[in-house]
Amino acid sequence: MKMISKISKLILALVCVGSSVFAQSLEDARKAIDAEQYQKAKSMLKNLTVTQSTKDENFFYLGWVYVLQDYTDSAKTVFNKGIAVNPKSALNYAGLGVAAFVDKDRATATNNFNQATTLAGKNSKPYAYVGRGYLAAPINDRVAPADAEAAIAILSKAKALNPKDVDVLLALGDAYRTQSKNTEALSNYQAALSIDPKLAGAKVATGVIWKFANNFEMSETEFKAALAIDPNYGPAYREWAETDVRWALSDPKMASVKVKEATDQYRKYLALTDMSEESQLRYADFLVYSGDWKTLQTVATELAKTSKNLKVQRYLMYSSTENKDYPAAIAAGNTWITKAEPKRIIARDYLYLGRAQIASAQDSLGIGSLQKAYALDTTQADVYSEIGKSLFAQKKYEKAGDAYRTYLSKSHKGTLNDYLREGMSYYFAFDTNKPDTTLLTKADSAFSYISQKATTPVAPVILYRAYVADSKDADRNNIKGLAKPYYEQYIQVIGAKTSLTDSEKKTLAAAYAYLGTYYEYKEKDDAKAAQNFTKARETDPTNKQAVSYFSRKGGASKGK
Protein backbone atom coordinates (compact mmCIF):
# COMPACT_ATOMS: atom_id res chain seq x y z
CA MET A 1 0.00 0.00 0.00
CA LYS A 2 1.35 3.35 -0.96
CA MET A 3 0.93 5.65 2.00
CA ILE A 4 4.00 7.89 2.08
CA SER A 5 4.38 8.62 -1.62
CA LYS A 6 5.24 12.26 -1.01
CA ILE A 7 8.21 11.61 1.25
CA SER A 8 10.80 14.08 0.20
CA LYS A 9 14.10 12.96 -1.22
CA LEU A 10 15.59 15.62 0.98
CA ILE A 11 15.51 13.02 3.74
CA LEU A 12 18.06 11.01 1.83
CA ALA A 13 20.27 14.06 1.44
CA LEU A 14 20.46 14.98 5.13
CA VAL A 15 24.02 15.07 6.30
CA CYS A 16 25.35 13.72 9.53
CA VAL A 17 24.73 16.05 12.40
CA GLY A 18 26.08 16.28 15.88
CA SER A 19 28.86 17.86 17.80
CA SER A 20 32.45 17.00 17.10
CA VAL A 21 33.14 17.09 20.80
CA PHE A 22 31.03 14.69 22.84
CA ALA A 23 30.64 14.68 26.58
CA GLN A 24 32.37 11.65 27.93
CA SER A 25 30.24 10.65 30.92
CA LEU A 26 28.37 7.37 31.00
CA GLU A 27 25.16 9.25 31.78
CA ASP A 28 25.52 11.30 28.60
CA ALA A 29 26.11 8.13 26.64
CA ARG A 30 22.93 6.62 28.10
CA LYS A 31 20.99 9.74 27.13
CA ALA A 32 22.30 9.40 23.57
CA ILE A 33 21.12 5.77 23.50
CA ASP A 34 17.68 6.79 24.74
CA ALA A 35 17.52 9.47 22.03
CA GLU A 36 18.48 6.82 19.41
CA GLN A 37 21.70 8.64 18.60
CA TYR A 38 23.58 5.39 18.36
CA GLN A 39 26.69 6.54 16.52
CA LYS A 40 27.16 9.31 19.05
CA ALA A 41 26.66 6.87 21.90
CA LYS A 42 29.13 4.39 20.43
CA SER A 43 31.78 7.06 19.99
CA MET A 44 31.46 8.11 23.63
CA LEU A 45 31.36 4.54 24.94
CA LYS A 46 34.33 3.38 22.89
CA ASN A 47 36.26 6.27 24.37
CA LEU A 48 35.06 5.38 27.86
CA THR A 49 36.16 1.75 27.52
CA VAL A 50 39.65 3.12 26.94
CA THR A 51 39.77 5.99 29.43
CA GLN A 52 37.82 4.09 32.10
CA SER A 53 38.81 0.58 31.11
CA THR A 54 38.17 -0.96 34.53
CA LYS A 55 34.47 -0.05 34.62
CA ASP A 56 32.43 -2.97 33.30
CA GLU A 57 29.34 -0.74 32.87
CA ASN A 58 31.02 1.05 29.96
CA PHE A 59 31.41 -2.24 28.11
CA PHE A 60 27.81 -3.24 28.84
CA TYR A 61 26.26 -0.10 27.39
CA LEU A 62 28.49 -0.29 24.32
CA GLY A 63 27.36 -3.86 23.83
CA TRP A 64 23.76 -2.78 24.38
CA VAL A 65 24.05 -0.32 21.47
CA TYR A 66 25.21 -3.18 19.28
CA VAL A 67 22.19 -5.23 20.36
CA LEU A 68 19.88 -2.34 19.46
CA GLN A 69 21.55 -2.14 16.06
CA ASP A 70 21.17 -5.90 15.55
CA TYR A 71 24.91 -6.64 15.63
CA THR A 72 24.76 -9.44 18.18
CA ASP A 73 28.19 -10.88 17.44
CA SER A 74 29.84 -7.51 18.13
CA ALA A 75 27.69 -7.19 21.24
CA LYS A 76 28.87 -10.55 22.59
CA THR A 77 32.49 -9.60 22.04
CA VAL A 78 32.06 -6.40 24.04
CA PHE A 79 30.07 -8.07 26.83
CA ASN A 80 32.81 -10.67 27.22
CA LYS A 81 35.37 -7.87 27.50
CA GLY A 82 33.23 -6.42 30.30
CA ILE A 83 33.28 -9.78 32.08
CA ALA A 84 37.05 -9.95 31.63
CA VAL A 85 37.24 -6.60 33.43
CA ASN A 86 34.87 -7.77 36.14
CA PRO A 87 34.10 -11.52 36.28
CA LYS A 88 31.10 -10.75 38.50
CA SER A 89 29.57 -8.22 36.12
CA ALA A 90 25.84 -8.97 36.33
CA LEU A 91 25.08 -6.41 33.61
CA ASN A 92 27.37 -8.02 31.07
CA TYR A 93 25.96 -11.48 31.79
CA ALA A 94 22.52 -9.96 31.22
CA GLY A 95 23.84 -8.57 27.94
CA LEU A 96 25.16 -11.97 26.85
CA GLY A 97 21.76 -13.42 27.66
CA VAL A 98 19.97 -10.82 25.56
CA ALA A 99 22.29 -11.39 22.59
CA ALA A 100 21.73 -15.14 22.81
CA PHE A 101 17.97 -14.63 23.10
CA VAL A 102 17.93 -12.49 19.96
CA ASP A 103 19.95 -15.21 18.22
CA LYS A 104 17.26 -17.76 19.25
CA ASP A 105 19.68 -19.62 21.53
CA ARG A 106 17.27 -19.95 24.44
CA ALA A 107 19.40 -22.35 26.50
CA THR A 108 22.42 -20.01 26.52
CA ALA A 109 20.16 -17.04 27.16
CA THR A 110 18.59 -18.70 30.19
CA ASN A 111 21.98 -19.65 31.64
CA ASN A 112 23.27 -16.10 31.30
CA PHE A 113 20.07 -14.56 32.65
CA ASN A 114 20.30 -16.82 35.70
CA GLN A 115 23.95 -15.88 36.18
CA ALA A 116 23.08 -12.18 35.90
CA THR A 117 20.32 -12.30 38.51
CA THR A 118 22.47 -14.40 40.83
CA LEU A 119 25.31 -11.88 40.66
CA ALA A 120 22.98 -8.88 40.82
CA GLY A 121 22.06 -9.33 44.45
CA LYS A 122 19.89 -6.33 45.35
CA ASN A 123 20.94 -4.34 42.29
CA SER A 124 17.81 -3.92 40.19
CA LYS A 125 19.54 -2.72 37.01
CA PRO A 126 20.62 -6.14 35.66
CA TYR A 127 17.05 -7.36 36.21
CA ALA A 128 15.82 -4.48 34.06
CA TYR A 129 17.91 -5.60 31.11
CA VAL A 130 17.10 -9.28 31.58
CA GLY A 131 13.45 -8.23 31.39
CA ARG A 132 14.09 -6.22 28.24
CA GLY A 133 15.88 -9.25 26.83
CA TYR A 134 12.69 -11.30 26.93
CA LEU A 135 11.04 -8.58 24.79
CA ALA A 136 13.88 -8.39 22.27
CA ALA A 137 12.86 -11.16 19.84
CA PRO A 138 9.29 -10.54 18.67
CA ILE A 139 7.75 -12.67 15.92
CA ASN A 140 5.87 -10.66 13.28
CA ASP A 141 6.27 -7.63 15.55
CA ARG A 142 4.52 -9.46 18.39
CA VAL A 143 6.16 -10.58 21.62
CA ALA A 144 5.10 -14.11 22.46
CA PRO A 145 2.87 -14.23 25.59
CA ALA A 146 5.26 -16.63 27.32
CA ASP A 147 8.20 -14.26 26.75
CA ALA A 148 6.18 -11.30 27.98
CA GLU A 149 5.18 -13.20 31.11
CA ALA A 150 8.82 -14.09 31.75
CA ALA A 151 9.73 -10.41 31.37
CA ILE A 152 6.95 -9.32 33.71
CA ALA A 153 8.00 -11.89 36.33
CA ILE A 154 11.65 -10.84 36.41
CA LEU A 155 10.83 -7.13 36.26
CA SER A 156 8.35 -7.47 39.10
CA LYS A 157 11.17 -8.90 41.22
CA ALA A 158 13.31 -5.93 40.25
CA LYS A 159 10.52 -3.55 41.19
CA ALA A 160 10.30 -5.18 44.60
CA LEU A 161 14.06 -4.68 45.01
CA ASN A 162 13.93 -1.02 44.00
CA PRO A 163 10.51 0.58 43.38
CA LYS A 164 12.23 3.80 42.27
CA ASP A 165 14.34 2.38 39.44
CA VAL A 166 12.81 4.12 36.44
CA ASP A 167 14.55 1.72 34.03
CA VAL A 168 12.67 -1.13 35.67
CA LEU A 169 9.37 0.74 35.62
CA LEU A 170 9.71 1.66 31.95
CA ALA A 171 10.67 -1.89 31.00
CA LEU A 172 7.74 -3.28 33.00
CA GLY A 173 5.40 -0.85 31.27
CA ASP A 174 6.73 -1.99 27.90
CA ALA A 175 6.26 -5.65 28.82
CA TYR A 176 2.62 -5.08 29.74
CA ARG A 177 2.10 -2.98 26.61
CA THR A 178 3.23 -5.80 24.31
CA GLN A 179 0.26 -7.81 25.58
CA SER A 180 -2.20 -4.89 25.39
CA LYS A 181 -2.43 -4.75 29.19
CA ASN A 182 -2.63 -1.00 28.96
CA THR A 183 -3.85 -0.24 32.47
CA GLU A 184 -0.83 -1.97 33.98
CA ALA A 185 1.48 -0.37 31.42
CA LEU A 186 0.20 3.14 32.14
CA SER A 187 0.51 2.57 35.85
CA ASN A 188 4.22 1.86 35.52
CA TYR A 189 4.85 4.75 33.12
CA GLN A 190 3.10 7.12 35.53
CA ALA A 191 5.12 5.73 38.42
CA ALA A 192 8.33 6.44 36.47
CA LEU A 193 7.17 9.99 35.71
CA SER A 194 6.34 10.62 39.35
CA ILE A 195 9.96 9.81 40.17
CA ASP A 196 11.45 11.71 37.24
CA PRO A 197 9.02 14.15 35.56
CA LYS A 198 11.57 14.75 32.79
CA LEU A 199 11.33 11.21 31.37
CA ALA A 200 10.40 12.03 27.80
CA GLY A 201 10.50 8.31 26.96
CA ALA A 202 7.65 7.61 29.38
CA LYS A 203 5.50 10.22 27.65
CA VAL A 204 6.29 8.70 24.26
CA ALA A 205 5.47 5.20 25.52
CA THR A 206 2.12 6.49 26.78
CA GLY A 207 1.47 8.00 23.37
CA VAL A 208 2.13 4.61 21.77
CA ILE A 209 -0.56 3.05 23.97
CA TRP A 210 -3.08 5.60 22.71
CA LYS A 211 -1.90 4.98 19.14
CA PHE A 212 -2.82 1.30 19.28
CA ALA A 213 -6.13 2.25 20.84
CA ASN A 214 -6.66 4.47 17.75
CA ASN A 215 -7.00 7.52 20.00
CA PHE A 216 -4.67 9.54 17.83
CA GLU A 217 -5.41 12.92 19.39
CA MET A 218 -4.29 11.63 22.79
CA SER A 219 -1.18 10.17 21.16
CA GLU A 220 -0.26 13.56 19.76
CA THR A 221 -0.83 15.17 23.15
CA GLU A 222 1.68 12.79 24.74
CA PHE A 223 4.27 13.26 21.98
CA LYS A 224 3.97 17.03 22.34
CA ALA A 225 4.42 16.64 26.10
CA ALA A 226 7.60 14.63 25.49
CA LEU A 227 8.94 17.35 23.21
CA ALA A 228 8.05 20.00 25.78
CA ILE A 229 10.38 18.13 28.14
CA ASP A 230 13.08 17.76 25.50
CA PRO A 231 12.60 19.48 22.10
CA ASN A 232 15.42 17.36 20.67
CA TYR A 233 14.00 13.97 21.70
CA GLY A 234 14.00 12.22 18.35
CA PRO A 235 11.93 9.11 19.27
CA ALA A 236 8.92 11.36 19.90
CA TYR A 237 9.01 12.46 16.25
CA ARG A 238 9.51 8.87 15.05
CA GLU A 239 6.52 7.54 16.99
CA TRP A 240 4.50 10.58 15.94
CA ALA A 241 5.28 9.76 12.30
CA GLU A 242 4.22 6.15 12.75
CA THR A 243 1.05 7.28 14.49
CA ASP A 244 0.24 9.57 11.56
CA VAL A 245 0.61 6.59 9.22
CA ARG A 246 -1.77 4.51 11.32
CA TRP A 247 -4.19 7.46 11.41
CA ALA A 248 -4.03 7.74 7.62
CA LEU A 249 -4.74 4.03 7.25
CA SER A 250 -7.65 4.22 9.69
CA ASP A 251 -9.32 7.33 8.34
CA PRO A 252 -9.24 7.87 4.55
CA LYS A 253 -10.50 11.44 4.99
CA MET A 254 -7.36 12.27 6.95
CA ALA A 255 -4.99 10.25 4.78
CA SER A 256 -3.56 13.09 2.70
CA VAL A 257 -2.95 15.38 5.67
CA LYS A 258 -1.51 12.67 7.89
CA VAL A 259 0.78 11.30 5.19
CA LYS A 260 2.33 14.76 4.82
CA GLU A 261 2.62 15.14 8.59
CA ALA A 262 4.27 11.73 8.86
CA THR A 263 6.86 12.82 6.32
CA ASP A 264 7.57 16.01 8.25
CA GLN A 265 7.83 14.22 11.59
CA TYR A 266 10.18 11.58 10.25
CA ARG A 267 12.39 14.23 8.65
CA LYS A 268 12.70 15.86 12.08
CA TYR A 269 13.54 12.49 13.64
CA LEU A 270 16.32 11.87 11.14
CA ALA A 271 17.72 15.35 11.63
CA LEU A 272 17.93 14.75 15.39
CA THR A 273 19.71 11.41 15.04
CA ASP A 274 23.20 11.07 13.61
CA MET A 275 21.99 10.06 10.12
CA SER A 276 24.16 7.00 10.41
CA GLU A 277 23.58 3.97 8.26
CA GLU A 278 21.57 2.52 11.14
CA SER A 279 19.31 5.58 11.17
CA GLN A 280 18.68 5.11 7.47
CA LEU A 281 17.91 1.46 8.07
CA ARG A 282 15.40 2.53 10.67
CA TYR A 283 13.94 4.86 8.09
CA ALA A 284 13.62 1.82 5.85
CA ASP A 285 11.72 0.08 8.66
CA PHE A 286 9.37 3.05 8.72
CA LEU A 287 8.79 2.73 4.98
CA VAL A 288 7.94 -0.95 5.43
CA TYR A 289 5.49 -0.02 8.17
CA SER A 290 3.93 2.69 6.03
CA GLY A 291 3.80 0.54 2.91
CA ASP A 292 5.66 3.06 0.78
CA TRP A 293 7.33 0.43 -1.36
CA LYS A 294 8.46 2.72 -4.18
CA THR A 295 10.37 4.99 -1.82
CA LEU A 296 11.76 1.97 0.00
CA GLN A 297 13.14 0.49 -3.21
CA THR A 298 14.80 3.84 -3.98
CA VAL A 299 16.27 4.10 -0.47
CA ALA A 300 17.45 0.49 -0.44
CA THR A 301 18.98 0.78 -3.91
CA GLU A 302 20.99 3.82 -2.78
CA LEU A 303 22.06 2.14 0.45
CA ALA A 304 23.17 -0.97 -1.44
CA LYS A 305 25.76 1.13 -3.30
CA THR A 306 27.75 1.83 -0.13
CA SER A 307 26.44 -0.33 2.69
CA LYS A 308 27.87 -3.71 3.59
CA ASN A 309 24.87 -4.44 5.78
CA LEU A 310 23.07 -7.41 4.23
CA LYS A 311 19.78 -6.23 5.68
CA VAL A 312 19.60 -3.81 2.76
CA GLN A 313 19.03 -6.84 0.52
CA ARG A 314 16.00 -7.76 2.59
CA TYR A 315 14.50 -4.31 1.99
CA LEU A 316 15.25 -4.62 -1.72
CA MET A 317 13.52 -8.00 -1.83
CA TYR A 318 10.40 -6.76 -0.02
CA SER A 319 10.04 -3.54 -2.02
CA SER A 320 10.86 -5.09 -5.39
CA THR A 321 8.29 -7.82 -4.84
CA GLU A 322 5.62 -5.28 -3.91
CA ASN A 323 6.58 -3.17 -6.94
CA LYS A 324 6.40 -6.27 -9.20
CA ASP A 325 10.09 -6.00 -10.07
CA TYR A 326 10.48 -9.74 -9.62
CA PRO A 327 13.98 -10.27 -11.09
CA ALA A 328 15.38 -7.67 -8.67
CA ALA A 329 13.40 -9.22 -5.82
CA ILE A 330 14.72 -12.73 -6.51
CA ALA A 331 18.31 -11.51 -6.86
CA ALA A 332 18.14 -9.59 -3.58
CA GLY A 333 16.31 -12.42 -1.83
CA ASN A 334 18.87 -15.03 -2.87
CA THR A 335 21.68 -12.76 -1.72
CA TRP A 336 20.06 -12.18 1.66
CA ILE A 337 19.10 -15.78 2.35
CA THR A 338 22.36 -17.34 1.19
CA LYS A 339 24.73 -14.85 2.80
CA ALA A 340 22.99 -13.79 6.02
CA GLU A 341 23.43 -15.91 9.11
CA PRO A 342 20.62 -18.50 9.31
CA LYS A 343 19.53 -17.13 12.69
CA ARG A 344 18.73 -13.80 10.99
CA ILE A 345 16.34 -15.30 8.44
CA ILE A 346 12.68 -14.88 9.32
CA ALA A 347 9.51 -16.35 7.84
CA ARG A 348 8.65 -13.13 6.05
CA ASP A 349 11.87 -13.42 4.02
CA TYR A 350 10.85 -16.74 2.52
CA LEU A 351 7.31 -15.44 2.08
CA TYR A 352 8.44 -12.58 -0.16
CA LEU A 353 10.98 -14.67 -2.03
CA GLY A 354 8.36 -17.34 -2.66
CA ARG A 355 5.87 -14.82 -4.02
CA ALA A 356 8.47 -13.36 -6.37
CA GLN A 357 9.46 -16.82 -7.57
CA ILE A 358 5.86 -17.88 -8.23
CA ALA A 359 5.18 -14.61 -10.05
CA SER A 360 8.23 -15.40 -12.22
CA ALA A 361 6.89 -18.87 -13.13
CA GLN A 362 9.40 -20.52 -10.79
CA ASP A 363 6.54 -22.29 -9.05
CA SER A 364 8.42 -25.24 -7.58
CA LEU A 365 11.03 -22.94 -6.03
CA GLY A 366 8.31 -20.57 -4.86
CA ILE A 367 6.29 -23.29 -3.19
CA GLY A 368 9.44 -24.53 -1.46
CA SER A 369 10.12 -21.02 -0.16
CA LEU A 370 6.57 -20.62 1.13
CA GLN A 371 6.83 -23.97 2.91
CA LYS A 372 10.04 -22.78 4.56
CA ALA A 373 8.20 -19.66 5.70
CA TYR A 374 5.62 -21.85 7.45
CA ALA A 375 8.33 -24.08 8.94
CA LEU A 376 9.93 -21.01 10.53
CA ASP A 377 6.64 -19.60 11.79
CA THR A 378 3.56 -21.80 12.00
CA THR A 379 1.34 -18.74 12.38
CA GLN A 380 2.01 -18.13 8.68
CA ALA A 381 -0.59 -20.72 7.63
CA ASP A 382 -1.85 -18.29 4.99
CA VAL A 383 1.03 -19.40 2.77
CA TYR A 384 -0.88 -22.60 2.06
CA SER A 385 -3.57 -20.58 0.31
CA GLU A 386 -0.90 -19.21 -2.01
CA ILE A 387 0.59 -22.68 -2.43
CA GLY A 388 -2.83 -24.06 -3.32
CA LYS A 389 -3.38 -21.36 -5.92
CA SER A 390 -0.01 -22.06 -7.54
CA LEU A 391 -0.53 -25.83 -7.59
CA PHE A 392 -4.01 -25.45 -9.05
CA ALA A 393 -2.62 -23.26 -11.84
CA GLN A 394 -0.10 -26.03 -12.58
CA LYS A 395 -2.99 -28.55 -12.68
CA LYS A 396 -1.53 -30.41 -9.72
CA TYR A 397 -5.02 -30.69 -8.35
CA GLU A 398 -4.67 -33.22 -5.56
CA LYS A 399 -1.72 -31.35 -4.06
CA ALA A 400 -3.67 -28.12 -4.44
CA GLY A 401 -6.58 -29.66 -2.53
CA ASP A 402 -4.21 -30.80 0.21
CA ALA A 403 -2.76 -27.28 0.43
CA TYR A 404 -6.20 -25.69 0.77
CA ARG A 405 -7.18 -28.29 3.36
CA THR A 406 -4.05 -27.50 5.37
CA TYR A 407 -4.77 -23.79 5.07
CA LEU A 408 -8.34 -24.17 6.29
CA SER A 409 -7.31 -26.37 9.21
CA LYS A 410 -4.58 -24.05 10.42
CA SER A 411 -5.68 -20.53 9.49
CA HIS A 412 -8.45 -18.44 11.02
CA LYS A 413 -8.87 -16.47 7.79
CA GLY A 414 -10.38 -19.19 5.60
CA THR A 415 -13.59 -18.30 3.76
CA LEU A 416 -16.29 -20.32 2.03
CA ASN A 417 -14.51 -19.52 -1.24
CA ASP A 418 -11.48 -21.39 0.08
CA TYR A 419 -13.65 -24.42 0.75
CA LEU A 420 -14.91 -24.10 -2.83
CA ARG A 421 -11.32 -24.09 -4.10
CA GLU A 422 -10.52 -27.14 -1.99
CA GLY A 423 -13.52 -29.01 -3.30
CA MET A 424 -12.83 -28.07 -6.92
CA SER A 425 -9.20 -29.16 -6.56
CA TYR A 426 -10.13 -32.61 -5.32
CA TYR A 427 -12.89 -32.98 -7.91
CA PHE A 428 -10.56 -32.06 -10.79
CA ALA A 429 -7.92 -34.42 -9.38
CA PHE A 430 -10.43 -37.26 -9.74
CA ASP A 431 -11.85 -36.08 -13.03
CA THR A 432 -8.55 -35.57 -14.86
CA ASN A 433 -6.23 -38.41 -14.05
CA LYS A 434 -6.82 -40.18 -10.77
CA PRO A 435 -10.00 -42.28 -10.38
CA ASP A 436 -9.71 -42.48 -6.60
CA THR A 437 -13.14 -42.18 -4.97
CA THR A 438 -11.61 -40.84 -1.75
CA LEU A 439 -10.95 -37.65 -3.74
CA LEU A 440 -14.67 -37.40 -4.43
CA THR A 441 -15.40 -37.83 -0.73
CA LYS A 442 -12.98 -35.02 0.14
CA ALA A 443 -14.47 -32.81 -2.56
CA ASP A 444 -18.04 -33.37 -1.42
CA SER A 445 -17.05 -32.76 2.20
CA ALA A 446 -15.83 -29.29 1.24
CA PHE A 447 -18.93 -28.56 -0.87
CA SER A 448 -21.22 -29.87 1.87
CA TYR A 449 -19.61 -27.51 4.41
CA ILE A 450 -20.42 -24.54 2.17
CA SER A 451 -24.02 -25.71 1.77
CA GLN A 452 -24.39 -25.89 5.55
CA LYS A 453 -22.83 -22.50 6.25
CA ALA A 454 -24.10 -20.39 3.36
CA THR A 455 -27.19 -18.30 4.11
CA THR A 456 -28.63 -18.93 0.62
CA PRO A 457 -28.08 -21.76 -1.88
CA VAL A 458 -24.88 -21.32 -3.89
CA ALA A 459 -25.43 -22.43 -7.48
CA PRO A 460 -21.80 -23.40 -8.32
CA VAL A 461 -21.61 -25.51 -5.16
CA ILE A 462 -24.84 -27.31 -6.02
CA LEU A 463 -23.50 -27.94 -9.51
CA TYR A 464 -20.22 -29.38 -8.23
CA ARG A 465 -22.07 -31.61 -5.77
CA ALA A 466 -24.00 -32.88 -8.77
CA TYR A 467 -20.74 -33.55 -10.63
CA VAL A 468 -19.34 -35.44 -7.64
CA ALA A 469 -22.48 -37.51 -7.23
CA ASP A 470 -22.58 -38.27 -10.95
CA SER A 471 -18.94 -39.39 -10.83
CA LYS A 472 -19.85 -41.87 -8.09
CA ASP A 473 -22.67 -43.15 -10.29
CA ALA A 474 -20.21 -44.55 -12.82
CA ASP A 475 -22.11 -47.62 -14.06
CA ARG A 476 -24.21 -46.24 -16.91
CA ASN A 477 -25.88 -49.65 -17.33
CA ASN A 478 -27.18 -49.42 -13.78
CA ILE A 479 -27.67 -45.69 -13.18
CA LYS A 480 -28.81 -44.82 -9.66
CA GLY A 481 -29.49 -41.14 -10.16
CA LEU A 482 -27.28 -39.95 -7.30
CA ALA A 483 -26.92 -36.54 -8.92
CA LYS A 484 -30.66 -36.09 -9.57
CA PRO A 485 -31.56 -34.06 -6.43
CA TYR A 486 -28.61 -31.74 -6.97
CA TYR A 487 -29.44 -31.07 -10.62
CA GLU A 488 -33.06 -30.45 -9.67
CA GLN A 489 -31.97 -27.97 -7.02
CA TYR A 490 -29.61 -26.32 -9.49
CA ILE A 491 -32.43 -25.92 -12.02
CA GLN A 492 -34.60 -24.36 -9.31
CA VAL A 493 -31.91 -21.86 -8.22
CA ILE A 494 -30.75 -20.89 -11.72
CA GLY A 495 -34.27 -20.86 -13.10
CA ALA A 496 -35.18 -18.13 -10.64
CA LYS A 497 -32.76 -15.72 -12.31
CA THR A 498 -34.17 -13.18 -14.74
CA SER A 499 -31.23 -13.47 -17.14
CA LEU A 500 -28.51 -16.05 -17.65
CA THR A 501 -24.94 -15.86 -18.86
CA ASP A 502 -23.85 -18.11 -21.72
CA SER A 503 -22.01 -20.29 -19.20
CA GLU A 504 -25.11 -20.63 -17.02
CA LYS A 505 -27.19 -21.57 -20.06
CA LYS A 506 -24.79 -24.41 -20.85
CA THR A 507 -24.75 -25.77 -17.30
CA LEU A 508 -28.53 -25.45 -17.01
CA ALA A 509 -28.93 -27.37 -20.27
CA ALA A 510 -26.55 -30.04 -18.94
CA ALA A 511 -28.75 -30.35 -15.83
CA TYR A 512 -31.86 -30.89 -17.95
CA ALA A 513 -29.97 -33.39 -20.14
CA TYR A 514 -28.93 -35.36 -17.05
CA LEU A 515 -32.57 -35.59 -15.97
CA GLY A 516 -33.56 -36.58 -19.49
CA THR A 517 -31.03 -39.41 -19.42
CA TYR A 518 -32.20 -40.45 -15.96
CA TYR A 519 -35.86 -40.68 -17.04
CA GLU A 520 -34.99 -42.42 -20.30
CA TYR A 521 -32.78 -45.16 -18.87
CA LYS A 522 -33.61 -45.41 -15.17
CA GLU A 523 -37.32 -44.63 -14.97
CA LYS A 524 -38.17 -45.62 -18.57
CA ASP A 525 -40.42 -42.55 -18.66
CA ASP A 526 -40.26 -41.36 -22.26
CA ALA A 527 -42.53 -38.36 -21.67
CA LYS A 528 -40.36 -36.89 -18.89
CA ALA A 529 -37.22 -37.76 -20.83
CA ALA A 530 -38.48 -35.87 -23.86
CA GLN A 531 -39.63 -32.98 -21.68
CA ASN A 532 -36.17 -32.52 -20.10
CA PHE A 533 -34.25 -32.98 -23.33
CA THR A 534 -36.51 -30.40 -24.95
CA LYS A 535 -35.71 -27.91 -22.18
CA ALA A 536 -32.03 -28.73 -22.61
CA ARG A 537 -32.22 -27.99 -26.33
CA GLU A 538 -34.20 -24.79 -25.79
CA THR A 539 -31.65 -23.56 -23.27
CA ASP A 540 -28.62 -24.56 -25.32
CA PRO A 541 -29.21 -25.81 -28.84
CA THR A 542 -25.64 -27.13 -28.98
CA ASN A 543 -26.05 -29.49 -26.01
CA LYS A 544 -24.63 -32.78 -27.28
CA GLN A 545 -26.89 -35.04 -25.21
CA ALA A 546 -30.01 -33.26 -26.40
CA VAL A 547 -28.80 -33.31 -30.01
CA SER A 548 -28.06 -37.04 -29.72
CA TYR A 549 -31.43 -37.76 -28.12
CA PHE A 550 -33.42 -36.06 -30.85
CA SER A 551 -31.22 -37.63 -33.50
CA ARG A 552 -32.04 -41.04 -32.06
CA LYS A 553 -35.69 -40.15 -31.90
CA GLY A 554 -35.69 -38.94 -35.48
CA GLY A 555 -36.35 -35.34 -34.50
CA ALA A 556 -39.48 -36.31 -32.56
CA SER A 557 -40.89 -33.75 -30.16
CA LYS A 558 -38.91 -31.00 -31.86
CA GLY A 559 -39.93 -27.67 -30.46
CA LYS A 560 -42.20 -29.13 -27.82
User: Using CA atoms, how far apart are residues 422 and 494, in angstroms rounded to an integer?
Assistant: 23
User: Using CA atoms, how far apart are residues 6 and 484, in angstroms rounded to an integer?
Assistant: 61
Whether 142 contacts 377, CB under 8 Å: no
Give the HSE-up count for residue 327: Cα atoms under 13 Å, Cβ half-sphere.
0
User: Using CA atoms, how far apart are residues 26 and 453, in angstroms rounded to an integer?
Assistant: 64
Cα–Cα distances (Å) from 503 to 24, 491, 539, in that order, read 79, 14, 11
Q: How many whole angstroms from its chain centre is CA 529? A: 56
Dihedral of alpha carbons 270, 180, 143, 116, sign: positive
Burial tier of 476 (Cβ tally within 10 Å: 0-12, 13-18, 19+): exposed
Q: Per the domain annotation, does 253 fall within a domain?
A: yes
What are the φ/ψ torsions at residue 355 (nearest 5 degrees)? -65, -40
User: Using CA atoms, how far apart are residues 160 and 294, in angstroms rounded to an integer?
Assistant: 49
CATH number at residue 220: 1.25.40
Residue ending a domain, choose from 287, 303, 330 = 287
Q: Per the domain annotation, does 24 fall within a domain?
A: no
User: Using CA atoms, how far apart are residues 274 and 3, in angstroms rounded to an integer?
Assistant: 26
Residues in CB range of 521: below 8 A, 6 or more apart? 476, 479
Q: Which residues pair with 139 in a beta bridge?
A: 142
Q: What's the pLDDT at 555?
A: 59
Residue ending a domain, choose from 259, 287, 315 = 287
Q: What's the pLDDT at 438?
A: 94
Give the HSE-up count for residue 368: Cα atoms under 13 Å, Cβ half-sphere.
5
CATH number at residue 529: 1.25.40.10
Residues in CB range of 212: below 8 A, 6 or more apart? 180
SS3 227: helix
Q: Which amino acid belongs to residue 232?
A: N
Q: Which residues pair with 523 in a beta bridge?
A: none
Nearest of 519, 494, 518, 508 to residue 543 by alpha carbon? 508
Q: What's the pLDDT at 285?
A: 85
Residue ending a domain, choose from 287, 317, 352 = 287
Domain that holds residue 488: 456-560
Q: Per the domain annotation, does 62 fall within a domain?
A: no
Q: Per the domain annotation, does 513 fall within a domain?
A: yes
Q: Is the pTM of this model over 0.85?
A: no
Residue by residue, DSSP assigns 9-47 as: THHHHPPP-S-SS----HHHHHHHHHTT-HHHHHHHHHH
Residues in CB range of 523: below 8 A, 6 or more apart? none
Q: Per the domain annotation, does 242 fall within a domain?
A: yes
Whether 202 contacts 170, CB under 8 Å: yes
Torsion angle of the four alpha carbons 390, 407, 289, 100, in this order, in degrees rounded to the nearest 10: -110
Q: Per the domain annotation, does 68 fall within a domain?
A: no
Q: How many whole angstroms from its chain centre is CA 138? A: 12
Q: What's the pLDDT at 83?
A: 98
Q: What's the pLDDT at 548?
A: 94
Whether 152 contacts 129, CB under 8 Å: no
- H helices within 230-362, ranges in order? 234-250, 255-272, 277-290, 293-306, 311-322, 326-339, 347-359
- H helices within 179-233, ranges in order? 182-195, 200-212, 216-229
Q: Per the domain annotation, does 490 fall within a domain?
A: yes
Q: What's the pLDDT at 477?
A: 66
Nearest of 412, 367, 407 to residue 387 by alpha carbon? 367
Q: Per the domain annotation, does 207 fall within a domain?
A: no
Whether 22 contacts 260, CB under 8 Å: no
Domain count, the chain: 2
SS3 234: helix
Local confidence pLDDT in tens for the 560 residues of the chain: 444 443 333 343 332 333 333 347 999 999 999 999 998 999 999 999 999 999 999 999 999 999 998 899 999 999 999 999 999 999 999 999 999 999 999 999 999 999 999 999 999 999 999 999 999 988 777 899 999 999 999 999 999 999 999 999 999 999 999 999 999 999 999 999 999 999 999 999 999 999 999 999 999 999 999 999 999 999 999 999 999 989 988 888 888 898 889 888 988 998 898 777 877 888 888 888 878 899 999 999 999 998 888 999 999 999 999 999 999 999 999 999 999 988 889 999 999 999 999 999 999 999 999 999 999 998 889 999 999 999 999 999 999 999 999 999 998 889 999 999 999 999 999 988 777 899 999 999 999 999 999 999 999 999 999 999 999 886 666 778 999 999 999 999 998 888 999 999 999 999 999 999 999 989 999 999 999 999 999 999 999 999 999 998 875 544 44
Residues composing the chain: 560
Q: What's the pLDDT at 10?
A: 33
